[in-house]
Structure 1
Amino acid sequence: MRTQKESVRGLDKLDRKILKLLQEDGRMSMKDLAEQVGLSITPTTERVKRMERDGVISGYHARLNPGALGATLLVFVEITLNQKSASHFEQFRREVLRIPEVQECHLVSGDFDYLIKARIHEMAEYRKLLGDMLLNLPGAAQSKSYVVMEEIKETLILSTETNL
């Protein structure tokens, strides 16, 4: 597998157009994709398979509406650990991966150690998530929560434009 830098450099305008279109509609047929990028099906399919093999395309997913599933409460939580060591970070990582309500968890620099994004059904469920799970994670010493009042923009789409 190529490094990320090699993968980015190896993408031409057609690859980037394919990526843009697939991000907009991951279920698009190879026939439709080929038509939109101006290639025949075989070279389009080969480009997609190459980008999958190189790790540029890491998967295809259905995007679910959280409200339709009742997960209408979005919270961000800052977690500060009481000790900073590789083993503590690894223990924390292992345990947070087991919590299904956590959509994202990032080790960050700054005044706290982790930033967590979670979607849940209601405030009572959040209290349980915070008290029974997040603050019981290995080394968790302190938390600060942010409940989202309005979602302005949320996307998984990455820009395919380049400045290289």
Structure 2
Amino acid sequence: MAEHTEGLDELDLKILSFLQDDGRMTFKEIASRVGVAERTIRLRVSNLRENGTLSIVGVVSPMKIGLNVIAAIQIAASRDQLEQCAKELAELDEVRFVALITGEYHILSEVCVESNEALSDFIVQKLNKVTGIERMNVIVELKILKNKFNFIREN
């Protein structure tokens, strides 16, 4: 298992490992695999969810629902409008990810749209109206080779 993280013990990490591979795995099955009571698993999962360590969601493949163009967009924003810029980006429906980053650009976002034309429309009609953007670099993902959500690794 991964190194211990503050507040997480070996049992928490095992539970997280099972759930990252199969978010629908029953508490009973997890309990059986790790050798503890089902109630223990139920309480641990509840605590992991309450403290923000774990979210159980269905991950939808954008391409399977018609969002065939995914673009990473690096944004350089004016320093005094950086927070406002990031907030406005996060409110756009097409934007699925926003992070403040280091380097030449200040914000990294990911956008999912139906087509190249839709990407162009998004940039012209929405992105260009976001407060504080000085310049951007649009990187279209041609082929996804790895897209993982399992962060806990076994030794």
State the percentage of identical aligned residues: 24
Describe the SS at the equivalent of 2:5. helix
Task: Calculate the TM-score normalised by the size of structure 1.
Answer: 0.85
| Aligned residue among 24, 32, 42 for 1:35 | 32
| Aligned residue among 42, 45, 49 for 2:46 | 49
What CA deviation, in whole Å up to 9, does each residue of 1:9-30 have, x standing for no partner? 2322221010011111112111
Instruction: Kindly provide the amino acid, as one letter, of the partner of residue 131 in structure 1.
Output: V
RMSD value, Cα: 1.8
* Structure 2: gaps spanning 5 or more residues: none
Deviation at 1:160, TM superposition (A): 5.2
Do the aligned partners of 2:13 and 2:152 also contact (CA within 8 Å) in 1?
A: no
Alignment of 1:56-135 (within 5 A): 56-57=53-54, 59-81=55-77, 83-85=78-80, 88-135=81-128
Task: Calculate the TM-score normalised by the size of structure 2.
Answer: 0.89
2:23 is equivalent to residue 26 of structure 1: yes
* Structure 1: gaps spanning 5 or more residues: 1-6
Instruction: Kindly provide the amino acid, as one letter, of the partner of residue 100 in structure 1.
Output: D
Instruction: Kindly provide the amino acid, as one letter, of the partner of residue 90 in structure 2.
Output: L
Do the aligned partners of 1:26 and 1:60 also contact (CA within 8 Å) in 2?
A: yes
Do the aligned partners of 1:79 and 1:112 also contact (CA within 8 Å) in 2?
A: yes
Residue correspondences, number = 152
Distance 1:138 1:102 in 2: 15
Distance 2:99 2:10 in 1: 32
Residue in 1 aligned with 2:8? 11
Distance 2:154 2:129 in 1: 42
Distance 1:42 1:23 in 2: 20
What CA deviation, in whole Å up to 9, does each residue of 1:41-64 have, x standing for no partner? 11111221222232222x211111
Describe the SS at the equivalent of 2:126. helix
Deviation at 1:136, TM superposition (A): 1.4
Distance 1:159 1:56 in 2: 12
Distance 1:113 1:157 in 2: 27
Distance 2:63 2:92 in 1: 20
